[in-house]
Amino acid sequence: MHDPRALVDMGADAVRRLARRGYTLDLEGLEDLLSRRNKSIHRADELRAESKRVAQEVQSAARQGADTGELKQRARDIKDEIRDVEAEQEQLAGRLNELMLGIPNLPLDTAPDGDSEDFAVEVRRHGDPPTFAFPPKDHVDLGEALGILDFGRATKLSGPRFSVARGAGARLERGLAAYFLDLHTRRHGYVEHSVPFLVTPATMTGTGQLPKFEEDLFKTGTNNRDLYLIPTAEVPLANLHAEEILDAGDLPLAYTAYTPCFRSEAGSYGKDTRGLIRLHQFAKVEMVRFCAPEESQRELETMVGHAEACLAGLGLPYRVVTLAAGDMGFSAQLTYDIEVYLPGQGRYREISSCSDCGTFQARRARIRSRDKDGKRGLVATLNGSGLPIGRTVAAILENNQRADGSVVMPPALVPYLGFHTIAADGTPQV
């Protein structure tokens, strides 16, 4: 969320930067609304001061035995006017807040132009895609042949875009989660959290999912309470410090959590309907960082390195790209995507997004810091996948398949799994 005065002061530069995201800022309309809101605040303050003066005059006149009728009528008139001005002020403030909640973050100039993944700029690559002496299968065919993935029964249970893992597949999912969490907590310095999977509308608003993207969420309501299923652990993690003032000396803070994630995937019908790439429910290990605003870009590079370490540790080939300004998430000012190579598709696919949100989310959630001199300011927030379980399973199966139908596990995972290979019949080989 932006400070409306800051956008007005930026003027044409704010219009230009938001246009790169495909958002048209009505600068004149914003300035007019802000001016009217401010005038109503000033007018209400003037009337309250006048009301106080008239009340004092009534008391003085009464002590002197003078007629107070006219003064009392003036006091009543002022109270009526205050009520009208406050109602106008509330209405204008509501309109301004609604407008500001719908304006996306300003992209940094380092984000390339464009509005889709086609405009992403490659930063670096790690590892070489594997070569096979046979036509490589995708993870759906592999998983079903091994008997470790069952999409048909998942559809029977819940409809399309769900999955069931069994046997070695379920152990692989559990082992990956433990591996990622150990990597982030023991090597990268994150504090693990166990967080709620249902959150309030205010929590969703704090990170930018509401009000603009309600159709992308799953909502439930019981006992007169509206709650939303989290689309990512970023939502509860980033809001842990909502309405709080952090000690600047404690920054940066680094949090991680392993949670299920729920997304309606509105607007994505027909895309990636096969397999584990785009599901309504999936599991993910998330990273969130809080830091001083001037440190956010450096912290973003750090977080990307942590996500890369997950893939490098598993021996999976990947590349890092900078997303185009018009293809970033609503709250981001700069985003790196990490894309893993999938032999079954013959291309790189996104497996992690790491975003620098600047102070955008902190203003919405009112997360501030205070330094040793007592100076207060907003913090910056960052978030990134580290990593999603389903897409990592897909990448392991496809990159480590063998001609006989078996799949070899990455050595780093073996201690978490208790087996080194899934045989062609789905049996774990210890």
Neighbours of 153 (CB within 10 A): 12
Q: What is the DSSP letter of 106?
A: P
Q: Is position 347 annotated as part of the catalytic site? A: no
Q: Is the pLDDT of residue 267 over 70?
A: no
State yes or no: 233 annotated in a binding site: yes
Domains and CATH numbers, the chain: 4-101 (1.10.287.40), 117-429 (3.30.930.10)
Average pLDDT (352-364) is 98
pLDDT tens readout for residues 74-125: 999 999 999 999 999 999 999 999 999 999 999 999 999 999 999 999 999 9
State yes or no: 232 annotated in a binding site: yes
Residues 6+ apart with CB under 8 A from 332: 105, 107, 323, 355, 356, 357
Which strands sit side by side in the sheet containing 376-378, from one edge to the other? 245-247, 368-370, 376-378
Q: Which of 353, 355, 369, 406 is catalytic?
A: 353
Q: Is the pLDDT of residue 239 over 70?
A: yes
Two structure tokens written together for 156 = 């029977």
Neighbours of 211 (CB within 10 A): 12
Average pLDDT (37-55) is 95
Q: Which of 86, 350, 366, 370 is catalytic?
A: 350
Q: Is position 278 annotated as part of the catalytic site? A: yes
Q: Is the pLDDT of residue 332 over 90?
A: yes
Q: Cα angle vertex 18, ends 265, 40, to 5°? A: 105
Q: Is position 125 annotated as part of the catalytic site? A: no
Q: Is position 391 annotated as part of the catalytic site? A: yes
State yes or no: 122 annotated in a binding site: no
The amino acid sitting at 406 is S
Q: Which of 20, 263, 363, 364 is catalytic?
A: 263
Q: Is position 171 annotated as part of the catalytic site? A: no
Two structure tokens written together for 405 = 């139908």
pLDDT value for 71 = 92
pTM of the model: 0.93
Q: Which of 166, 278, 366, 370 is catalytic?
A: 278
State yes or no: 192 annotated in a binding site: no
pLDDT value for 253 = 98
pLDDT tens readout for residues 198-214: 999 999 999 999 999 99
State yes or no: 369 annotated in a binding site: no
Nearest Cα to 183, choosing from 374, 412, 6? Answer: 412
pLDDT value for 104 = 98
d(CA 125, CA 171) in angstroms, rounded, equals 30
d(CA 424, CA 118) in angstroms, rounded, equals 37
Q: Is the pLDDT of residue 270 over 80?
A: no
State yes or no: 60 annotated in a binding site: no
